[in-house]
Amino acid sequence: MLRVTHLLPFLALLSAPALAAQPRAQQIAVFKVSALGRANVTPTALMAAQVTPETLTIPADYLYKRDLRVQAYDLDAFLKARIPDVEQLAASGAQIMFWCRDGYAPTAKLSDVLGQGGLIAVADADAPAGVQWPDAPYKNTVLKAPEIGNYVVWRRAQFPAKPQPWGLDTIYILPASAVLKK
């Protein structure tokens, strides 16, 4: 079973004086979904998949807003090495979910992802020694290397058609019938 836990802010009605005086609380929602396959995305798992890392340039990278040379592993090769019958699962309508450390979990049809040039980027190839990723401005904050971690990128700019999550922790293959709200 896959347990997806999200922390959602508790909504207080501003027009209700009694609620407005209460301290803010958080509500936990737990969803259970049967996963057809799972692949942890760790340095050990990437090495065990026996996929050769490559260095290439991602044009107009989504996060860094510039051409970005990355060290990356081919997503298709990683999935095929770690999840048996991934191509058959794609043909059956299975979905892919990219579970990130911060709880973000974008999903897509597996058949829309396989064969589309996906990569698991693990580092900026031009970063100084000892630096995995440079800081990246994002919305009203700055992401640090540990937050970026493993980052899904595409050989050809395809955003927003394909997910581009960073902080990637685990890839799940879900049945076609799994309906997850984004």
Question: CA dist 106 to 77, 109, 112, 173, Å?
Answer: 20, 11, 13, 12
pLDDT of residue 124: 96
3-state secondary structure of 96: strand
Q: Across the chain, what does the average pLDDT equal?
A: 81
User: pTM higher than 0.85 for the full model?
Assistant: no
* pLDDT tens figures, 58-116: 988 889 999 999 999 999 999 999 998 999 999 999 999 999 999 999 999 999 999 99
How many residues can be counted in the chain? 182
Query: What pLDDT, in 10s, does the model give residues 16-52?
Result: 333 344 444 555 544 555 788 899 999 999 999 999 9
Phi-psi region of 163 (alpha: psi -120 to 50; beta: other; left: phi over 0): beta
